Amino acid sequence: MLNGFLVIDKPAGVTSHDIVSKVRRAINQKKVGHTGTLDPFATGVLPVAVGEGTKAIQFLDESEKEYRAVLRLGIATDTQDLTGQVLSERDWSHLEASDLERLAPQFLGLQKQMPPMFSAIKKDGVPLYKLARKGIEVEREAREVEIHALSFEWIRLPEACFTVTCSRGTYVRTLACDIGEALGCGAHLLELRRTRSGLFREADAISIEALAEAVNQEDLILPLDRALDHLQRLELTEAGGRKVQNGVVPQAADFTTATGEFRQGEQVRLYQGERFAAVAEYDMLKGLRLARVFN
């Protein structure tokens, strides 16, 4: 049984859920899940958890993501991408490449972004995209996002390719739309590719076909504890390891060295020797608690 994470290079035209089904068939394993949904038209890095990796999804650090996108000026659509219905067409011919380059710094840093109606965000338990397909638009709250970096790779008007590094929850479709509105002509995305999601990178991504044909699929797996490398590592004694395996919270004597002080809500990895045993979380009132034990 495979345990850990695969970095799948998602092709266009399929959903993230479709990829999970394809991975299940490719590795002949039922326990599979994905993190960081990509739109059907988008491509690129889709982290897929397999086996015990599905228990670790909640502990991943995917706070920063990177995308490469191509926008088209002059046309706005209801989905903010090429799959939608045209809402407006406006003149872009007065614009020059320098206009886009000058605009980029305005979108850096913390800002409020209005989630698109064609998104998986729920309103009263119903995904917005289901309402949008019925022609229903509901009021929604702008959310705070952060753009860490934004630069244009090439500009061949009315199209332009840009790379953006941003916080989790940022809609690149909406960013392209907002750039178009700031220029006064509207815009939508023609292409969107995720090149990084946390520590999962494009260079490590493989196709479903490559996964299915691999002689040793285990070589393609990122071990689940390495996917949690951002968490502090603590070593358990043999007795402490047995306690954790039985769901018992370890005490100070169950660690090989002093654990030091923890912040409220801080999560740590617990090991017995080289075996990754659990993720624990610190509560100021109750001390360490076991958040998840791994087999």
The whole-angstrom separation of Cα 164 and Cα 153 is: 10
What does R_g of the chain's alpha carbons equal in angstroms?
22
Catalytic residue (one of 9, 39, 178, 254): 39
- The tokens describing 201, both together, are 């990178």
CA distance 265 to 22: 36
Pairing of strands 143-156, 109-113: antiparallel
Cβ burial of 11 (10 Å; 0-12, 13-18, 19+) is: middle
Does the annotation mark 91 as catalytic? no
Distance CA 39, CA 174 (A): 13
Buried b (16+ CB within 10 A) or exposed e, 83-119: ebeeeeeeebeebeeebbeeebeebeeebebebbbbb
- Tokens, residue 266: 């801080």
What are residue 206's DSSP bridge partners? 8
Q: Taking the mean position of all CA atoms in its chain, how far away is CA 186?
A: 27
- How far is the C-alpha of 112 from the C-alpha of 122, rounded, in Å? 18
Q: The tokens of 45 are what? A: 């890095």
Helix segments in the chain, DSSP class H = 16-27, 53-56, 97-103, 128-133, 172-182, 208-213, 224-227, 238-245
Query: Could you tell me the two tokens for 196?
Result: 């990084």
Active site residues: 39
